[in-house]
Amino acid sequence: MCIGLYERGIKLLSIKEVVYRNIKENFILYFLLVIALMIGISAGAITINMLNREQTQSLISFLDSFFKILDQEKIDNINIMKHSFSNNFQTVVSIWVLGITVIGLPLIFVIIVLRGFIVGFTVGFLINELGFKGFSFSMLSILPQNIFIIPGIIALAVLSINFSLKIVTSRTKRGTKFNFASELTRYSVTTAILSILIVIGSIIESYVTPVFMKLFLGYMF
């Protein structure tokens, strides 16, 4: 038993070292992507103030309908998971493809900005309309899954950008060794491994977040 715990400790330490080294080596990229995310969140929050009365009323009606459905009907976890997997899978594939095309590299930043925009707009609208209750609800409905999904997407973006830069370097610098098939395989496998974070986030969004939302719905509203 002690040996098993020791081995687990070594594995955890190794994972921490790999993560730390990756962040250290790609600090500028992580910094730029986090800035892009923050820009998206800020833009989403600011957009709330640009909505006209009709748009605001439509969103409020949608929110009321959502709360009624959540309160009265049984949660379809399977359907939520399918929807979450579908959306996140499209994001993962898009980032993976953009890393190969090279010319699509700037679009990776656009994806991060859009992800931030969605979060900022949703949280901003809830807070704007419901105040502290909206903030509390957004923490229960948005934060749990995004603790895994957003870091996963940012890590995938860094991986994709690095792969693009390797392709560019191999074409511009003579004597640079670059086996495309081998590097593509490594890139794809690493993408699959990092996608585990997003899968965990989707599972939380499907099975954990709805429970939180239902438990606190009566208390907050």
At 19-57, the pLDDT tens digits run: 788 888 899 999 999 999 999 999 999 998 888 888 888
For the whole model, what pTM was predicted? 0.87
Identify the domain containing residue 40 by its residue range.
Answer: 23-220
> Is the distance from CB of 209 to CB of 145 less than 8 angstroms?
yes
Domains identified in the chain, total number: 1
Per the domain annotation, does 66 fall within a domain? yes
**2, part of any domain:** no
Cα dihedral 22, 26, 32, 35, rounded to 10, equals: 30
Answer yes or no: is 157 within a domain. Answer: yes
Structure tokens belonging to residue 181: 């098939």
Could you tell me which of 170, 197, 198 has the C-alpha nearest to residue 182?
A: 170
Domain assignment of residue 3, yes or no:
no
Q: Per the domain annotation, does 4 fall within a domain?
A: no
pLDDT digits (tens, 9 = 90+) for 5-16: 434 544 544 667
For residue 13, being part of any structural domain is answered with: no
Measured distance between the N- and C-terminal CA atoms of the chain, rounded to whole angstroms: 48
